[in-house]
Chain A
Amino acid sequence: MATKLLDVQDVLPPPIPAPAGVRRRSHLAQLESEAIFIMREVAAQFERPVLLFSGGKDSIVLVRLARKAFWPGKSPFPLLHVDTGHNFPEVIEFRDRLAAEVGADLVVRRVQDSIDRGRVVEETGPHASRNAMQTVTLLDALAELRADAAMGGARRDEEKARAKERVFSHRDRFGQWDPRNQRPELWSLYNGRKAPGEHFRVFPISNWTEMDVWQYIAAERIPLPSLYFAHRREVVDRGGVLYARSPWVPLLPGERYEEREVRFRTVGDATCTGAVESSAATLDEIIREIAGTRLTERGATRADDQRSEAAMEDRKRHGYF
């Protein structure tokens, strides 16, 4: 067993037990039951499902839910991480420890390998990002693993285009999503039937909001990478987005690094994931901060969505997460 992950025991009050005799469960319990139900459907309906693991809080929550869904057995899903090569070292370290702790197979596929093999051409310039290239690496990895379902931690509250995505989202042979032609999804009957070569993306926490995720992390005392908590770090302020100092974010003329107290609300690729100024060092403080915040998590820190109003929709059509 690896070293104990970040201990949040002392920063949290004990979870509030559901009052005895109450037959309607709390919203978190309802969301958890739904997510577990969906994961069990995935395990039953597909042959080689994988769990897309980014190291971010949403996929960490998925790992927890998968553990609960199949307890006392082991989760049947290998973890697939598409590594842009621009990840924060803390996240990579956390990923490896978590996979070891839950005993899951961890498969890492690198965007760098796709570049080396000529599958994609690297963007250049100050705003260069490997975010879009992940799609190719991901689709190649799914084909290599012959995965017929890939679970992700996307939520419908994140972005307009996602509001209409199904829980079981069908992808054609080229990994593409057709928003005009989605299967109707009724009650809790999830249709995972498909032709050979096609696959599904499945989103067990579709109905969760960012707040639900944080509340669940707090209630379940789920350890997170330290990036999520306030810490001092050298950042560069670029158009209101704070980028962490890293070899992949070269300074532009006139820019300089400064040390600030920041935390990350999502922990994607370092070239397009910004930090926010914050002093929230515990889950409790983070929840309070989010409750009062006036920016959605993607809007605050994801440079890739700001490229155009329909940015997300375009990427999704091509098989993005």
Chain B
Amino acid sequence: MLTTADPREPLQTDLLRFSTAGSVDDGKSTLIGRLLYDTKSIFQDQMDALEAASRRRGEEGVNLALLTDGLRAEREQNITIDVAYRYFAAPRRKFIIADTPGHVQYTRNMVTGASTAELAVVLVDARKGVLTQSRRHGFISTLLQIPHVVVAVNKMDLVDYDERVYRGIVAEYREFAEKLDVQNLTFIPISALDGDNVVTKSGRMPWYHGGTLLHHLENVNVGGSRNLVDFRFPVQYVIRPHQDFRGFAGRVASGTVAPGEEVVVLPTGRSARVRSVETADGPLAEAVAGDSVVLTLDDEVDVGRGDMIVRRMNLPRVSNRFEAIVCWMAEQPLCPSAPYVLMHTSRQVKAFVSRIVYRIDVDTLHRDEVGSFGLNDIGRVEITTVAPVFFDAYAQNQATGSFILVDPFTNVTVAAGMIRGEIRTAEEVFGREEPAGRAVSPGAVWQEWNVSRERREERLGHAAAVLWFTGLSGSGKSTLARELEERLFGAGCRTMLLDGDQLRHGLCGDLGFGAADRQENVRRAGEVARLFFEQGSLVLCTFVSPFREDRERVRALIPEGRFYEVFVDCDLDTCRRRDPKGLYGKAARGEIVHFTGISSPYEAPEEPEITARTDAHTVEEMVEAILRRLREDGIVS
């Protein structure tokens, strides 16, 4: 309670939410008990209960740790198992502690506690140094973008308040934190048991010149991390008491809003001006992130729950595919083909985990390739939703970058996610006016492949990849690709070679050579390559494919690291001389229009993975070079 604050000035007090995490015996409960006790936030009856409980357990003195353990099961097992919220106040700030256990089996609880925190207190036992659990908590705090981390080096009394021990721990933790990109890192040597440097300054560590933990908590400058730039207003509820008033209720997720500003409503894209920012206490000149208000607009635009009001010149991403880091929170493992409900701002849409990129070992920070996530796993995935969502990267905007996944059958929250960004498709890279993502037939719902590519690759003993040979007619694409395929096939690999002429018999037989048809030809070729790729093959494709944009579109279909653009480079004169199909001759005579290199441009790749100069090297040399590259990249062995 607000014992030390002046109760006459309640409205000047700030609120800070912070998280704590620790393993059994780090002294976390003692520390929290100490903070509550020394700020006089413990009441007499709680104190009496505490003394009685301590006595019953045959302990001498009061065990401050007993103050904060919650449920019966924990009392019995002597451990903290869920997120517990605790409250205390100092003159300048009120505090909400999200108190979580630190063991790996409670990773999900740490993630939950961190999700609302602006600061994290990481506990280190001075005798033990920086153990796995302190690193884990540090890692999760960074993952959740908590802007301030305080490392409390506890139990200094047990190391004789030795400065060298403290310095050693500081150096060790700093080294670890460098890998994490922690924004503000503070170290404080404390003894939770005796109260040194928790609320009152210790006389036993004269070598420490910093403030106490409470002093830091009260004075640290929070709020700098809030996003006050990008206005986002997810509509929660429409308020319509009578014909003349229609207001959109919600909380400003980020940025600010003022009357007169021009806004657009997503997903419709209709624009309007803000007429007023209403509250029950009267209209506001400006609302900022965190304010619950009602917006009225000057136009009769259709707005409902789940829509988002934003500024015209500052739009969030709109996509139905994005990449995210998720923490799996359910016993039931992630099922890549299963539908989930994605809850994001005030929107709920059906979603799939369309790809698991990797799992992060929270202790070693290594990335593991896995087929599923189990309870407490954290990793990177791709999510596909059936309707677009409006989001920002979590790093820029927590409110519009966070989501949860809910099992539609049990209704249980199974995962928490932080959006990294959209999956960039060629359309987005080149700004084409097309819906995001690949073309989808109406009503078709994506199902994961029955047998995953990973399993197929495992059996085949090599990875799948697409090598896309592009170059002028006569540059030597086919010769090179054929020779390469022979070598790979001979080595036992599963291969497939697709070339333009083949596809134009059959699948693309309805297409001509106009710009639109050429584009469609390449699109189909890309999709076919993708199918063979998913089947585990090394797919070699030889297409003139003169336009960068079309090639980028194909690239976007294939995971990063598995697509090789092979630029088959050869000067035009050499090609013309070779003219294996007699086409340059026809073009020169005007029998063929739009012939690449003659009457139609060729856009050379800017950053091809591989360049093969067929006018300077032998086929054998080039094949060897490509094979070497595939071995280096671990595609083949």
Contacts and interface: CB of A to CB of B under 8 A. Distances in A.
Contacts of B346: 44
A310 B12 contact: no
Contacts of B14: 24, 26-27
A43 B237 contact: yes
B64 interface: no
Given A26-B14, A164-B70, A219-B10, A40 B241 contact: no
A16 B8 CA distance: 10
A299 to B, nearest CB: 3
Contacts of A185: 112, 413
B111 interface: yes
A180 interface: yes
Contacts, number: 212
Interface string A288-301: 10111111100110
A210 B1 contact: yes
A18 B116 CA distance: 24
Interface string A23-37: 111111111111011
B403 to A, nearest CB: 7
B593 interface: no
B86 interface: yes
A309 B49 contact: yes
A315 to B, nearest CB: 13
A308 to B, nearest CB: 10
B7 A184 contact: no
Given A27-B14, A33-B290, A186-B416, A211 B280 contact: no
Contacts of B207: none
Contacts of B180: none
Q: Which of A29, A180, A184 has the most CB of B within 10 A?
A: A184
A156 interface: yes
Contact of A163 (B43, B70, B278): B70
Q: How large is the interface on A (under 10, 10 to 19, 20 to 34, 35 or more residues)?
A: 35 or more
B576 to A, nearest CB: 63
Nearest to B403: A189
A66 to B, nearest CB: 10
B71 A187 contact: no
Nearest to B72: A310
A313 B70 CA distance: 9
Given A30-B15, A313-B72, A72 B1 contact: no
A70 B280 CA distance: 8
Given A183-B413, A310-B72, A163 B86 contact: yes
A184 B87 contact: no
Nearest to A212: B94
Contacts of A26: 10-15
B329 A184 contact: yes
A97 interface: no
Interface in A278-319: 284, 287-288, 290-296, 299-300, 309-310, 313
B297 to A, nearest CB: 16
Interface string B225-245: 010100000001101110001
B92 to A, nearest CB: 10
Q: Which of B12, B279, B292, B346 has the most CB of A within 10 A?
A: B292
A183 B3 CA distance: 34
A293 B249 contact: no
Contact of B11 (A18, A74, A179, A300): A18
Contact of B290 (A30, A69, A189, A212): A30
B83 interface: yes
Q: Which of B49, B73, B228, B280 has the most CB of A within 10 A?
A: B280
Q: How large is the interface on B (under 10, 10 to 19, 20 to 34, 35 or more residues)?
A: 35 or more
A24 B44 CA distance: 34
A112 B622 CA distance: 93
Interface in A252-300: 284, 287-288, 290-296, 299-300
Contacts of A161: 70-71
A310 B71 CA distance: 8
Contact of B413 (A73, A160, A163, A184): A184
A37 B346 CA distance: 11
Contact of A186 (B73, B75, B112, B292): B112
Interface string A182-225: 11111111010111000000000011011110010011000000
Contacts of A118: none
Interface string A155-179: 0110011011000000000000001
B292 A37 contact: yes
A182 B5 contact: no
Given A16-B11, A215-B7, A67 B280 contact: yes
Interface in B178-192: none
Contact of A33 (B223, B256, B292, B398): B292
A15 interface: yes
A273 to B, nearest CB: 15
B534 to A, nearest CB: 33
Interface string A57-73: 00000000001111111
Interface stretch (B212-220, B404-412, B464-472, B552-560): B404-412
A181 to B, nearest CB: 9
B627 interface: no
Contacts of A184: 108-109, 111-112, 329, 404, 413, 416
A309 B53 contact: yes
Interface string B382-406: 0000000000000000110011101
A30 B94 CA distance: 11
B343 A189 contact: yes
Contacts of A27: 10, 13-15, 93-94
Contacts of B1: 209-211, 290-291, 293
Interface in A51-100: 67-74
B399 A187 contact: yes
B406 A191 contact: yes
Contacts of B2: 209, 211, 215, 291
Q: Which of B11, B15, B226 has the most CB of A within 10 A?
A: B11
B45 interface: yes
A73 B239 contact: yes
B290 A25 contact: yes
Interface in B526-553: none
Contacts of B111: 184, 186
A41 interface: yes
A186 B44 contact: no
Given A16-B12, A209-B87, A309-B53, A69 B115 contact: no
B334 interface: no
Nearest to B49: A309
B259 interface: no
B446 to A, nearest CB: 23
A15 B8 CA distance: 10
Contact of A211 (B82, B89, B93): B89
A72 B5 CA distance: 35
Contacts of B46: 296, 299
B251 interface: yes
B9 interface: yes
A210 to B, nearest CB: 7
Contacts of A210: 1
A69 B247 CA distance: 12
A226 B543 CA distance: 86
Interface of A: 13, 15-16, 18, 23-34, 36-37, 40-41, 43-44, 67-74, 156-157, 160-161, 163-164, 179-180, 182-189, 191, 193-195, 206-207, 209-212, 215, 218-219, 284, 287-288, 290-296, 299-300, 309-310, 313
Given A16-B12, A27-B10, A34-B292, 7 more contacts: A23-B223, A23-B256, A44-B305, A160-B69, A184-B404, A219-B10, A295-B44
The 9 closest A-B pairs by CB, nearest first: A299-B45, A27-B15, A71-B280, A294-B44, A73-B241, A68-B280, A215-B10, A193-B411, A36-B292
19 contacts: A24-B223, A25-B288, A27-B14, A27-B15, A30-B15, A33-B292, A44-B236, A68-B280, A71-B239, A71-B278, A157-B87, A160-B69, A163-B86, A184-B109, A184-B416, A193-B406, A290-B7, A291-B7, A295-B45
